[in-house]
Amino acid sequence: MNFFSSGPNLEKQVFDLKLTSKQFDRMSAKSTKQEKAELLKVKKEMEKGNMDVARIHAQNAIRIRNTATNYLKLASRMDAVAARIDQAIQMKAVTKQMGGVVKGMDKALKSMDMEQIGQVMEQFESSFENLDLASATVENALGGATAASMPEAEVDELLDAVSAEHGLEIANKAAAVGKGAVQMGAAADEHDDALEKRLQALREGAM
């Protein structure tokens, strides 16, 4: 990405922040589509009785969902910082300390490294707190990459949700691969409602 120029130009940094935020929004939307594709693969493999393969796709779906959530969090954080810079410009309260942070922001935006951008966000927030311009403290910088292993309970819940949606009977198949039974406990006309509640709970847990 070569559209970021060097130099502590605050007005341009506001533009760059908003532009990069939109890019993270698009990346989140793309990840959401990938998650749906993985969920479809989960269904197909469950229909074939390949529970071990279905579990792998379920893990992929959860990992991708977490990535999409992280993109949205960082995009929101960048929008908040852009608004604070706007406020600082309007109040003519830009200090030398903030000017130095702006130089670091330019480098961070070029790298598109989520952790590096998060660290610069913290520096901006510290500057704004010193100026008493911050109305609220945004979330801490996002941590490192998503853990390699997925919680088994979360994977089982996703498999159960897919089973409920498509009316699949997988209790015996699941037991055969040593992962426990998943019972079909809802009538066909209740499947959609049950799936929605479970997937919503998963999304809230990833936030």
Number of domains forming the structure of the chain: 2
Q: Quick: pLDDT tens for 162-179.
A: 888 777 765 445 444 444
Q: Which residues contact 107 (CB under 8 A, 6 or more apart)?
A: 116
- The Cα–Cα gap between 74 and 95 comes to 25
Is 145 a member of any domain? no
**What pLDDT is stored for residue 164 in this prediction?**
81
Task: Identify whether residues 102 and 182 lie together within a single domain.
Answer: no
* Neighbour count for residue 81 (Cβ, 10 Å): 22
Task: Identify whether residues 158 and 103 lie together within a single domain.
Answer: no
pTM of the model: 0.52
Domain that holds residue 157: 152-206
**What pLDDT is stored for residue 3 in this prediction?**
34
Is 143 a member of any domain? no
Task: Identify whether residues 109 and 161 lie together within a single domain.
Answer: no
Task: Identify whether residues 193 and 95 lie together within a single domain.
Answer: no
* Neighbour count for residue 146 (Cβ, 10 Å): 16
Is 139 a member of any domain? no
Is pLDDT of 74 > 70? yes
Is 68 a member of any domain? yes
Is 42 a member of any domain? yes
Q: Quick: pLDDT tens for 121-140.
A: 776 666 666 555 434 433 44
